A and B are shown apart, each in its own frame.
Chain A
Amino acid sequence: MKEIKLNKLKETIYYDKCDNGLEIYMWVKNNSNYYYATFNTRFGSIDTKFKIKDKEYNVNNGIAHYLEHINFNESDNTTPDDYYNIKGTSTNAFTTYDLTSYEIYGSSDILGDTLHLIDFVQDRYFTEDIIEGERNIILEEVKMDNNNPGQKMYYETQKSIYSKNKRRNEITGSEKDISKINKNELELVYDTFYQPSNMFLIITGNFNPYEISMAIKENQNKKKIKKIHFTKIYDKEDAKVNKENTEISDNIEIPKLSLAYKMSRRKFKEFNDLYLKIYLDLIINANFGPTSNLKEDLMEKELIYTLTYSINIDNDNVVIELDSETKYPLELIKILKEDMSKLVLTEEKLKRRIKCSIAYLISGLDDIEFVNSLIQNDIIKYNKINNNIYDIYQSLTLDEAKKIIKHIDLNNCSVVIMNKNKD
């Protein structure tokens, strides 16, 4: 067992690794009344292309999410709920672009509940009947998402930014994708990605980490899970946006606008992903967030109803996205572009945001679900716990931020406008 100390925060994350490669992260909060555990596999909706030995596989979009549904069966008539209901424990699961996570919340039997979580995820039970029965449920989930204009706008924007990156596809897959998924394909991805060495467990709450870790190791030692060597394949994504202008319409009253700048990751090569993400957040927040002059101005002139931003960094590209609800999308595009070309950050704003980020971390330590997701994010994005995050915030400088501003490339941008349906 290793103890990872979170510098200056006086907190410890306990880390252990089973012989088969399964990693365990634990954070203890003694005064918590319940516990939260997530069993995660590094398999998300973008992982549809991979290689085993020399053979390349291309599976259907949406398969990670389909598998998440199917894996909630222990036999023809038994689901994990049958076990957890007796304990009063809740269970659920979700799929993201790069992760599938199975979760439990409970208060009565952390050891039994956690071992059952591992067992039901690791013991697959797929039958044609189960797979067919689930298909229509997933199709209804997709239709529910399609009823949501915000969701449609989100994916339309991803499609306009990316040409090959699988973020352009819905996590659930489309209705067409879902109709093609079959048992063989589900078994293939399960055997490939649900191996212990591709998975990690995070437990947060009130418990003894040594006791839990020992029981998990014992559980894993009894299992024989075939090791398959695989390599994930991601097609290289061009630095150019896929489509510069897109106009769609939907059941809305106020038009929506998305303006996304895409630039090569190489432009920021002297910064690692974590620093780059923190700096970009600071810069965009200062210029388009609630303390910016611009946002207040645009609200006052009734040019916007909302203005939010997001930043995504992957191996190939950095994308800065500005999203708004506005009656005047064309006017707003001009203004946002103008402001993107004169980004500023002051020492005062930098210091204030550093203070806020640290306070955010401290207040997050009240919440076992927050800490669980913080660990999850660190492992998926950085493959390690960023235990020096406090020091990182303290080390940020205006000079470095200015360097990043200089590297921001505004030559490549996609615009998506969603208008109101014509009557």
Chain B
Amino acid sequence: MTYKKYNNDSYNLYTIKTDKFKTCQMEIVFYRKLNKEKITIENVLSDILVHSSLKYPKRKYVVEHLEDLYNANFYSTTSRVGNIRTINFIYNFIDPIYADKSYLKDVISFPFEMLFNPNIKNDEFDERSLKIIKSRVYADIKSIKENPTRYALKKSLYLTSKDMPSSYELVGNIKDLNKINSSNLFSFYNELFEEYYCDIYLIGNLDMDKVNIMIKNLFKNDIIKTEQLNPYYYLKNNNNKTIEYSEKDNLNQSTLVCIYNLDNLSSFEQNYVFYIFNTIYGSGSLTNKLSKNLREDNSLCYNVSSLYQKYDNLLIVYTGIDAKNKRKALNLIKKSLKEMINSKFNEDDVDNAIKYNINILKSSLDNQDSIIDNYFFNIISNSPLINERVEVIDSVTKKDISNLAKKIKLKTIFFLEANNEGN
């Protein structure tokens, strides 16, 4: 696997050449500092740019063309990495050796055709396409309520601090959606090229020098960005007080969420120790402390998880339980963390967690998405590449883990209580 960077001023092309896969993946990533006000319009723009273009004015023409390109797939996602908002255009296509001679040229040009020649006439996006996209984003916003766990997580983050980027609703909101029209969407399209960084990631068995020249001719934007970006978010006005909230809804199962703040972690702790800590504490197999204490020993739940939000400096623990077991579950969650602080785990647990993480890291080398994601995080935050992770993670010790556990502070307890249990 060979990594290479092509610096093309207004964008960089990062390539990973490998003969491991029968397919290729390209990701065109736009990113800048997260702005709450722009979340909804970012979702609409990213969606409309893959929906249609001047050349393919209806979605069906886009899909037909992708099918002609041997079932290529072109879609967009928007996400958040701490303080940074990303808009990703993801493109999967078959290795050109399985296709006809003109394939490479056709397949590489397609996403740029879509991004640089959108369905715009007289400085306005096509009304028809916009109507379809707005209606889809509307449905996404409305469906938030259908997933009570997601609602509980978001609410608990909001209660921790409404200024935290992790508390923002990333599908957007109806008020902002209603303000979007074909003309202000066109202005925002220009903003995308003027203000967002753009990088392109490409993995596959391609002649990367040749593809770089092809993309140079297709990428029609020469604005260079210079703003410094730092993805890490640190909770402001932090104190050691824990706040507790609850809410009732017409549900079958209650959800308990605990939000922990992480104090002053070193980069070694962020990149290595936390993953080993979390495998022993609450992710990985059912032998982790949370599953053992809540599920296996006390049959309180089916699912209990701890999520490490590296760039937000947060740890989130959540579980679905019977309302009557709230206090017991909460005590067991607290007890599990105490056990980590007091080193109530043995060297074997550490060794096993290291092996488990090495296994995950190695298997991620078989997956194009994971390789590109890892490369992206390496570029924006200097986080280690997969091979480096495999080498260094081995050095994490029991002492490192208990020291880290001491830096984890409970900030918020949120309980979404079900009214309908047993019905």
Interface residues of A (CB under 8 A from B): 31-34, 72, 79, 81-82, 84-91, 105-108, 133-138, 140-141, 143-144, 146-150, 175, 251-254, 290-293, 295-296, 299-300, 302, 305-306, 325, 352-353, 355-357, 359-360, 362-363, 365-368, 421
Contacts and interface: CB of A to CB of B under 8 A. Distances in A.
A150 B145 CA distance: 12
A363 B359 contact: no
B25 to A, nearest CB: 10
Given A34-B359, A136-B299, A251-B148, 13 more contacts: A34-B362, A86-B352, A90-B285, A133-B296, A140-B322, A149-B146, A291-B60, A296-B58, A305-B135, A325-B143, A357-B71, A362-B98, A365-B22
Given A88-B359, A137-B302, A292 B147 contact: no
Contacts of B190: none
A108 B19 CA distance: 23
B128 A85 contact: no
A290 B59 contact: yes
B63 to A, nearest CB: 5
27 contacts: A31-B20, A33-B362, A33-B366, A34-B363, A34-B366, A72-B286, A85-B355, A88-B354, A90-B284, A107-B358, A133-B296, A135-B299, A136-B299, A140-B301, A141-B303, A144-B253, A146-B252, A147-B148, A251-B145, A291-B64, A299-B59, A302-B131, A305-B138, A305-B139, A356-B67, A356-B71, A362-B22
Contact of A79 (B138, B145, B286, B322): B286
Contacts of B158: none
Contacts of B59: 290, 296, 299
A138 B70 CA distance: 44
Interface residues of B, number: 68
Contacts of B355: 85-88, 108
Contacts of B92: 363
A393 to B, nearest CB: 12
Nearest to B351: A86
B287 A33 contact: no
Contacts of B286: 72, 79, 81
Given A34-B363, A148-B147, A302-B135, A254 B253 contact: no
Contacts of B322: 140, 143
Task: Name the residue among A147, A175, A300, A367 with the largest chain B CB count within 10 angstroms.
Answer: A147
Contact of A299 (B135, B295, B303): B135
A239 to B, nearest CB: 34
A88 B358 CA distance: 7
B45 to A, nearest CB: 18
A88 B352 contact: yes
Task: Name the residue among B58, B128, B359, B418 with the largest chain A CB count within 10 angstroms.
Answer: B359
A254 to B, nearest CB: 5
A134 to B, nearest CB: 7
A253 B143 contact: yes
Contacts of B285: 81, 84-85, 90-91
Contact of B146 (A79, A107, A150, A305): A150
Contacts of B321: 140
A136 B252 CA distance: 14
A385 to B, nearest CB: 20
Given A143-B320, A355-B71, A359-B70, A292 B60 contact: yes
Contacts of B252: 143, 146-147
B333 to A, nearest CB: 16
Contacts of B348: 86
Given A79-B287, A82-B287, A290-B63, A106 B143 contact: no
Contacts of A140: 253, 300-303, 320-322
B39 to A, nearest CB: 19
Given A107-B363, A251-B145, A352-B68, A134 B21 contact: no
B374 interface: no
Contacts of A352: 64, 67-68
Contact of B253 (A33, A89, A147, A357): A147
Contacts of B300: 136, 140
B277 to A, nearest CB: 15
B303 A144 contact: yes
A136 B329 CA distance: 14
Contacts of A295: 60
A363 B94 contact: yes
Contact of A108 (B148, B295, B359, B366): B359
A105 B358 CA distance: 12
Contacts of A143: 252-253, 320, 322, 418, 421
B136 to A, nearest CB: 6
Nearest to B99: A359
A106 B146 CA distance: 35
A76 to B, nearest CB: 12
B142 A254 contact: yes
B182 interface: no
A89 B301 CA distance: 24
B60 A290 contact: yes
B237 interface: no
A173 to B, nearest CB: 14
Contacts of A296: 58-60, 132
Nearest to A353: B67
Contacts of A368: 366
B407 to A, nearest CB: 25
B168 interface: no
Contacts of B58: 296
Nearest to A305: B139
Interface in B132-160: 132, 135-136, 138-139, 142-143, 145-149
Contacts of A290: 59-60, 63
A128 to B, nearest CB: 14
